[in-house]
Amino acid sequence: MPAGVVETDPERLARIALTRVFGPEHQRVAVEVGRRGAARVWAEVRSAHPGVDPLRDLDAASRVGARLVCPQDPEWPIELDALDRLRDEGDGSAIGAPLCLWVRGPGDLRELASRAVALVGCRAATSYGLHLAGEIAFTMAEQGWAIVSGAAFGIDAAAHRGALAAAGPTVAVLAGGVDVPYPAAHVELLAEIGRTGAVVSEVSPGTPPFRRRFLTRNRVIAALCRGTVLVEAGLRSGALNTVAHARRLGRQVMAVPGPVTSAMSAGCHRLLRDFREQTVLVTGAEDISEEIAAVGRFAARPPTAVGPRDELSAMVRDLLDAMPSRAAVGVSVLSQRTGLRPEEVLAMLGPLTVEGLVESVPNGYRLTPLGRAPSNARSRSRRS
């Protein structure tokens, strides 16, 4: 929204209010907005939230130079619509597209997303990973690609800085409000991104980030881009969650190999091993450009016959099948049921937790709604 323009559209104001009240996790609200419109949904719940004023959020955004972008706006990146399709064609456990976005910076988000690649990885990156992330981002930005990441320490920051060094566009997608620099140490980095590219958030201004929101945010990073590159990551890195979203969306997934002795590359190596049919090994910008240029603008629709379990190895699917549908179970029990050693079970549960298929609870582990989704690939995997 241009500076100085007063927002009066009830549909847009309702999207702001619903975002403030419910956040992105309440998909029943998002589905109803898609069916009946935000204004009608907000009218039904407004009396229960008398303190919510969308104009206050607009004012907070304007103070940091941010604007509201809604579906149907010229700037709305249509790549995000694939999130709704993934939710609607699945079991409903996936989170769809944001109700709205807050954008700070001169970059047109739709234009940036039309030629974007995500570079993600661990926070505790090695010098090897930092060098590669910066070098890849610099070269890709020189070639006109927008570099998308999450502004975290480590690989994210190196990717943003590499793009900035090339005077190229970069997009930071935040887990908190667009006016809440996080991490605080990156306030200057985010300010620089906001001067030349775009800082983006789907949550209300002033909202601090929390752990679950980082995982929710990751789907936006993946959806905005033609492909996602895992530069460096351990087995429990949150970047694996971004990669999982990209894979489910049918986007190109790539990973950079590292030293076999480095724990910070173990996530990349496991991705290349366990998802070899969906992951391309890349070693630099030239490989990445070749892969995502061949993809086209974006995959219009993910393959609907493939569920979240279908891309897993047979051994990992057997582990999931050994877990009760609703109750929690301990590692020792899973070891007995599968014939795997306890340390092998634990090694599998870590990535499954990051991917959102399993969650850790006080008395063990249990399947999430996504993890309970049936597999269509079991018989196919056993025959291969």
CA dihedral for 227, 141, 196, 7, sign (positive or negative):
negative
Mean pLDDT of 12-32: 94
Q: Which position has the higher pLDDT, 371 or 131?
A: 131
Residue 340 pLDDT > 90, yes or no? no
What 3-state DSSP class applies to 192?
Answer: helix
- Mind listing the pLDDT tens digit for each residue in 120-154? 999 999 999 999 999 999 999 999 999 999 999 99
Least confident piece of the model among 11-20, 63-72, 172-181, 304-313? 304-313
Report pLDDT for 262: 96
Mean pLDDT of 275-303: 78
Report pLDDT for 378: 37
Domains defined along the chain, listed by start: 10-89 (no CATH), 101-295 (3.40.50.450), 314-383 (1.10.10.10)
d(CA 62, CA 47): 26
Cβ pair 64, 104 in contact under 8 A: yes
Percent of the chain with pLDDT over 90: 69
Structure tokens at 265: 């590359």
Mean pLDDT of 88-96: 80
Least confident piece of the model among 213-222, 232-241, 327-336? 327-336
Cβ pair 14, 39 in contact under 8 A: yes
Report pLDDT for 355: 77
d(CA 134, CA 137): 5
Least confident piece of the model among 202-211, 286-295, 308-317? 308-317
d(CA 329, CA 366): 6
Q: At what angle do helices 239-248 and 342-354 cross, to 10 degrees?
A: 70
Residue 307 pLDDT > 60, yes or no? no
Residue 111 pLDDT > 50, yes or no? yes
d(CA 245, CA 110): 20
Local confidence band at 92 (pLDDT 50, 70, 90 cut-offs):
low
Residue 381 pLDDT > 50, yes or no? no
- Mind listing the pLDDT tens digit for each residue in 147-156? 999 999 999 9
Report pLDDT for 311: 64
Please state the pTM of the whole predicted model: 0.79
Q: Which residue has the tokens 């910076």?
A: 105
- Mind listing the pLDDT tens digit for each residue in 150-183? 999 999 999 999 999 999 999 999 999 999 999 9
Residue 40 pLDDT > 90, yes or no? yes
Cβ pair 249, 82 in contact under 8 A: yes
Local confidence band at 303 (pLDDT 50, 70, 90 cut-offs):
very low
- Mind listing the pLDDT tens digit for each residue in 238-260? 999 999 999 999 999 999 999 99
Bridge partners (DSSP) of residue 227 are: 117, 252
Mean pLDDT of 2-27: 84
Cβ pair 99, 15 in contact under 8 A: yes
d(CA 355, CA 267): 12
d(CA 375, CA 377): 6
For the CA atoms of 114, 257, 122, 246, the dihedral, rounded to the nearest 10 degrees, stands at 40
Residues with Cβ within 8 Å of residue 241, at least 6 apart in sequence: 215, 218, 354, 355, 356
Report pLDDT for 239: 95
Q: Which position has the higher pLDDT, 13 or 362?
A: 13
Residue 313 pLDDT > 80, yes or no? no
What secondary structure does DSSP assign to 66-133, as a single string? EEEE-TTSTT--GGGHHHHHHHHHTTS-S----S-EEEESSS-HHHHHTTEEEEEE-SS--HHHHHHH
Q: Which position has the higher pLDDT, 328 or 279?
A: 279
